[in-house]
Amino acid sequence: MAELIVSVSGVRGIIGDSLTAQTALDFGRALGEFLLEQQGHGSGAAQLQVAIGRDSRISGPMITQAMAAGLLAVGVAVIDLGVTATPTVALMGRFLKTNASVVVTASHNPPEYNGLKFLRHDGIGFPGGSVGKIHQIYLGRHFRAAKIDAIGHFSTDSRAHAHHVQTVLQFFDTRAIAQHRYRVVVDSINGAGCIATPMLLGKLGVELIHQNGAATGQFAHTPEPVKENLGSLCAEVSRRKAAVGFAQDPDADRLAIVDEMGNYIGEEYTLALAVYARLMAKPGIVVTNLSTSRMVDDIASKFAGQVIRTPVGEANVAAKMLEVDAVIGGEGNGGVIDLRVGPVRDSFMAMATVLDLLARTGKTISELVRELPRYAMIKTKFPCPVEQARVLVDRVRDAFKADHLDTQDGVRVDWPQGWVHVRPSNTEPIARVIAEAKDENIARDLIDRVEKLRHT
């Protein structure tokens, strides 16, 4: 039997193996117990509420309904949002003033996976300690059983997609974008982005060519939006002479971009272009994680902006953004966070931001990319238990102690010519190593130096 993966944001597993309806039911109870304890809830108090949305996976209804049943059983009300993107669930949780939200999704993982992502009342992922506490309650299986007059109230809300689109559009000159009548190809991978994407792009006057645009959960290809999975999108952009191609992941929080010639430009450029667009309008603080490209720093310097780095993880980036009132932030995996909409990665905000950048500059995607600094980034990982990964981090730190170190999350070493980041994975028994430099050979050399330390 596969092991249920418990991470800083929630849980993930294989349907019918490590993740079953019973698992979801008990995690619903555990989340309810956690919220009731946090609120000091007793009899006579107003009933707590949790919003639940799901991506389009076939297992979604089963897991959602089991999760809802667990919450209802301990006396927590549930608002079911249906098939909904992760950023939409976060937005609706704040709009509905719920005590927490849950997204039933396994993000970019294959269809046999599903998971539960826990969000606070403000839309940010629960801190790791809170997820750990929920997991401990789940393992203890000491759940209250609400009496008939205290069972949670169940309801549905169908406003999620329209509310998200309306929220995004208020920050853009829609007429200025619409007058260009951009032709755009979008691959929504039959996921949660299928519903709001045509609503959003229609309001922006876009001619949409929608690939895999039905939210069936029958993913047309491996769902992660990386180059090797987007051949059809690249070909269609070129064939249809589109201005840009966009690829979403199943829960529509990440976005990859294809230029007007059909070239996949890389996930790192999604955040880079968004930072460029936002700082043009409002210079300020940018927050990103330690594993994201230096392009962000170079762009920020042009606008007298400041870049603050955090440990890897969307919740870490979002929390720091709120703390410092950042104007834009995100991660180099295609995740753009704009606090004006919400403290989560949002592919809809990213699409609107890129189209706005095209309209304001009058340039093509390839022209904008050519203006950005170019780096070679290499990502790799070494199989090893967590303790061995920590030993590797210590060796790297000691070997380069005379250089510029950041030890918030593993260790990142910076030199003028490049950087390397070594960290234990939060979810797997591996060490992740990422290096970036102006020259690919330098980046490869940085990886090799870490590899030698592993065998010391």
pLDDT, residue 44, reads 46
Confirm if 255 and 347 have CB atoms less than 8 A apart: yes
Token code pair at residue 72: 């209802």
**Distance (Å, whole) CA 82 – CA 254:** 20
Token code pair at residue 90: 């976060």
Confirm if 347 and 254 have CB atoms less than 8 A apart: yes
Token code pair at residue 240: 């249809």
User: Helix axis angle, 60-73 relative to 21-39, nearest 10°?
Assistant: 40
**Distance (Å, whole) CA 332 – CA 431:** 18
pLDDT, residue 454, reads 86
Reported pTM: 0.94
Query: Which residues are within 8 A (CB) of 182 and not within 5 positions of it... i.e. 6 or more apart?
Result: 204, 205, 206, 207, 242, 243, 244, 355, 358
- 444: helix, coil or strand? helix
Domains in the chain (CATH in brackets) are 5-158 (3.40.120.10), 164-371 (3.40.120.10), 376-454 (3.30.310.50)
- 321: helix, coil or strand? helix
**Distance (Å, whole) CA 143 – CA 159:** 32
Phi, psi of 195 (to 5 degrees): -85, -50
**Distance (Å, whole) CA 45 – CA 338:** 35
101 annotated active-site: no
The mean pLDDT values, 10 residues at a time, for the chain of 456 residues are 84 96 98 92 73 98 98 97 98 97 95 96 87 95 93 97 98 97 98 98 98 96 94 98 98 97 95 97 97 96 94 93 97 96 97 98 97 93 86 93 92 95 85 95 95 86
- 347: helix, coil or strand? helix
**Distance (Å, whole) CA 437 – CA 361:** 28
pLDDT, residue 118, reads 96
Confirm if 204 and 352 have CB atoms less than 8 A apart: yes
E runs forming strands in 121-160:
154-156
Per the residue annotation, which of 59, 107, 188, 347 is the catalytic one?
A: 107
Q: Maximum Cα–Cα distance for the chain, whole Å? A: 68
**Distance (Å, whole) CA 87 – CA 60:** 17
**Distance (Å, whole) CA 256 – CA 267:** 5
**Distance (Å, whole) CA 356 – CA 339:** 17
Q: What angle do CA 33, 117, 83 make, to 5 degrees?
A: 110
Token code pair at residue 150: 């205290």
Query: Which residues are within 8 A (CB) of 415 and not within 5 positions of it... i.e. 6 or more apart?
Result: 403, 404
